[in-house]
A and B are shown apart, each in its own frame.
Chain A
Amino acid sequence: GAVVSQHPSWVICKSGTSVKIECRSLDFQATTMFWYRQFPKQSLMLMATSNEGSKATYEQGVEKDKFLINHASLTLSTLTVTSAHPEDSSFYICSATFSGEEQYFGPGTRLTVT
């Protein structure tokens, strides 16, 4: 149980365009979802915390107007990278929790901006 999926698994887009990444909890209702980014050979950095029906809380240094997060239901959160640039190329990972004791991670989305 406690499976989290992400879609797409990888995406290539042109500079200036927007990209939407979905995060779904498949077999449980997630009270909270988290979005991370990970650069090559580095650790995970938390971008924002998302609760269903409320505005996301962004970490310091993360532009909320660039990384739009929508948490429309207890099983779906989306991250939209607006006006993407090559420096936004990264591995984006979401996680979901329902008990507060453990986060269940998605398989990640590789974004490449050309």
Chain B
Amino acid sequence: TQLLEQSPQFLSIQEGENLTVYCNSSSVFSSLQWYRQEPGEGPVLLVTVVTGGEVKKLKRLTFQFGDARKDSSLHITAAQPGDTGLYLCAGPSGGYQKVTFGTGTKLQVIP
């Protein structure tokens, strides 16, 4: 089983601050995805990274895939209360179309 460990588990910051969430594995992944999930809802896909070293930007969110494709990071600049939620990384897990989710990072942005 390929495990995806996220850090930190919980993060509470003030509006306007920057933060980085990490997703690490001992296994190589062909791609990694990042999702955000709000309470009582399903996860929503933010981005998919597929190339080692790839950097993708989505407004104030910057996603990076490690050169060895074993890790990824999500950096948020000038966090806003609307960024509050559970952030999940996920990667293919061997079965057809199956994915394994990371342990999750719960972010709270305080106004």
Using a CB–CB cutoff of 8 Å, the interface residues on chain A facing chain B are 4, 32, 34, 41-46, 49, 57, 91, 93, 95, 97, 100, 102-103, 105-108, 110
Report the bound CA distance from A105 to B44 in whole Å.
7
Does A49 contact B95, Cβ atoms closer than 8 Å?
Answer: yes
- Residues of B close to A105: CB separation below 8 A: 42-44
Contact at B95–A107, with CB atoms within 8 Å? no
Contact between chains at B104 and A42 (CB < 8 Å): yes
- Which 9 interchain pairs have the tightest Cβ spacing? A105-B42, A43-B104, A44-B101, A43-B101, A100-B97, A93-B42, A107-B42, A108-B42, A105-B43
Assess whether B98 is interfacial by the CB under 8 Å rule. yes
Question: Given that A43-B88, A43-B104, A44-B88 are contacting pairs, would A97 and B42 also be in contact in the complex, using a CB cutoff of 8 Å?
Answer: no
Contacts of A46 in B (CB 8 A): 93, 98-101
**What's the least CB distance linking A68 to chain B, in Å?**
20
Task: Establish whether residues B98 and A102, one from each chain, have CB atoms under 8 Å apart when the complex forms.
Answer: no
Given A44-B88, A100-B97, residue A108 in contact with residue B40 (CB < 8 A): yes
Q: Quick check: A102 and B45 within 8 Å, CB to CB? A: yes
Beta-carbon contact of A97 and B97 below 8 Å:
yes
Closest to B9 in A: A41
Smallest CB–CB gap between B47 and chain A, Å?
Answer: 11
Contacts of B103 in A (CB 8 A): 43
In the bound complex, residues from chain B placing their C-beta under 8 Å from that of A49 are 95-98
Task: Type the 1/0 row for B13-55, where 1 means its CB is closer than 8 Å to any CB of A.
Answer: 0000000000000000000000000001111110010000000
CB contacts (< 8 Å) of A44 on chain B: these are 43, 88, 101
